[in-house]
Chains A and B, each alone.
Chain A
Amino acid sequence: MARARVYVTLKKSVFDPQGKTIHDALTSLGYSGVTDVRQGKFFEVALDGLTGDQARQTVEEIARTVLANPVIESYRVEVE
C-alpha cells in the first residue's frame, strides 16, 4: 500500500492573512527572530492497489484538480 503526502501552500506572490496573523502573534510572544510565517495544508493519502508511478500520477491528479486551487495555491507531492 502506497502512502502519499501532499503539501498545499499559497503561491509566494499571494498574501497570506493567516500566516501574517500568526507571525504577529509570535512577535508579540517575544520571538523576535521570526521574520515570516506562511500557513498551508497538509494531506496524508493512503492508496490501495497502486504503487510507484501509478500512485504518484493519481495523487498528482488529486492535488491538481481537488486539493489545490491553481489560481492561488501550489502543491508538492511525496510518495513512499
Chain B
Amino acid sequence: MKVGVVVFPGSNCDHDAYHAVKHVCGQEARFVWHKDADLSGLDAIILPGGFSYGDYLRTGAIARFSPVMGAVKAFAAQGGPVLGICNGFQILQEAGLLPGAMLRNGGVKFLSQPVHVRVERTDTPVTAGIPAGRVLTMPIAHGEGNFYAEPEEIARLEGEGQVVFRYTTKDGRLDPAANVNGSTAAIAGVCNAARNVVGLMPHPERAAEPELGSADGRQLFEALVRVLTPVAR
C-alpha cells in the first residue's frame, strides 16, 4: 500500500501522518505538495491537520482551490480512499467532498485535549474491521470543530449511515459534557455517500503509539492497510 500525504502551506501534521503510515504501519508513503496534481501510484490520500494558508478567511477555504484538490476530487470519484484529519476534514468540507461545515467551538476556546469517540460505522476504509461501538481515545486540537449541518441534512446523514465517529464518554455513552466542541449530534467524523472519503476532527496520527499516550489511532491506519493490501494467495 502506498499513501500520499498532501502538504499545504500551513500543514503541521503532515510528518506525523507520514510517520504513522511509514514507520508505525510499515507501509510506503510519500508527500504530495499542494501545487502537484500527480497522484499516480498512490492507493490512498491523507489530507493532514494544520492551518492551511493560515485559515485566515475560514478554515480550509483557500486550500480547496489548490491544484492538488482537482486531483483529489478525481481520485475520490474513482473510489480511492481519502482521509481528512482536522484541517484536512475542513478542507474536504469546503471542497464539497464531505457534508456539513465547522463553526467556532461552542465554548469559543481553542481545545487541545484527549477525547473519546465511538466508532459508529465499520463500512469505511478507515474503520473496516474495527468492532462497531468501540471507543477510541485520540487528541483534538482545534478552534473550529463544531460540526454543523441543517436539520434535514443531519437527518439524511443519520439515515444514510454517514456519521462515522461520535464524541462520547470513555464507556461510549452520549453526554453533552463529552461533546466538547458542541457538535450537532455529537458528530466527530463523517463519510461521503460513496463511503470512500472520511473526515474526522480527532488526530489518529497523534495517538498511534503508546508513547503518545494512546495507540488507538493506529487502528484507523491499520484498517486502511487491511482494505488496500491484496490478500496473499
Binding site for B on A (CB under 8 A): 10, 13-18, 21, 66-67, 69, 71-72
Contacts and interface: CB of A to CB of B under 8 A. Distances in A.
Given A17-B105, A18-B108, A66-B57, 6 more contacts: A14-B148, A18-B104, A67-B57, A71-B100, A71-B149, A72-B148
Contact of B148 (A18, A66, A67, A71): A71
A17 B104 CA distance: 7
A66 to B, nearest CB: 7
A33 to B, nearest CB: 23
A40 B204 CA distance: 33
B101 interface: yes
B101 A17 contact: no
Contacts of A15: 103, 106, 148, 182
B150 interface: yes
A59 to B, nearest CB: 15
Contacts of A16: 103-104
Nearest to B102: A72
**9 pairs of A and B residues whose beta carbons are closest in the complex:** A71-B101, A72-B101, A17-B104, A17-B108, A21-B108, A69-B101, A17-B106, A72-B148, A18-B104
A69 B105 contact: no
Of A15, A21, A67, which is in contact with the most chain B CB atoms at under 10 Å from its CB?
Answer: A15
Contacts of A17: 103-108, 146, 182
Interface of B is mostly: loop
B152 to A, nearest CB: 11
B42 interface: no
Interface in B106-158: 106-108, 146, 148-150
Of A15, A66, A71, A72, which is in contact with the most chain B CB atoms at under 10 Å from its CB?
Answer: A71
A73 B149 CA distance: 11
B2 interface: no
Contacts of A13: 150
B58 interface: yes
A16 to B, nearest CB: 8
Contact of A69 (B94, B104, B107, B150): B94
A15 B101 CA distance: 13
A72 to B, nearest CB: 5
B199 to A, nearest CB: 14
A56 to B, nearest CB: 21
23 contacts: A10-B103, A13-B150, A14-B148, A15-B148, A16-B103, A16-B104, A17-B103, A17-B104, A17-B105, A17-B108, A17-B182, A18-B104, A21-B108, A66-B61, A66-B62, A69-B58, A69-B61, A69-B101, A71-B100, A71-B101, A72-B101, A72-B103, A72-B148
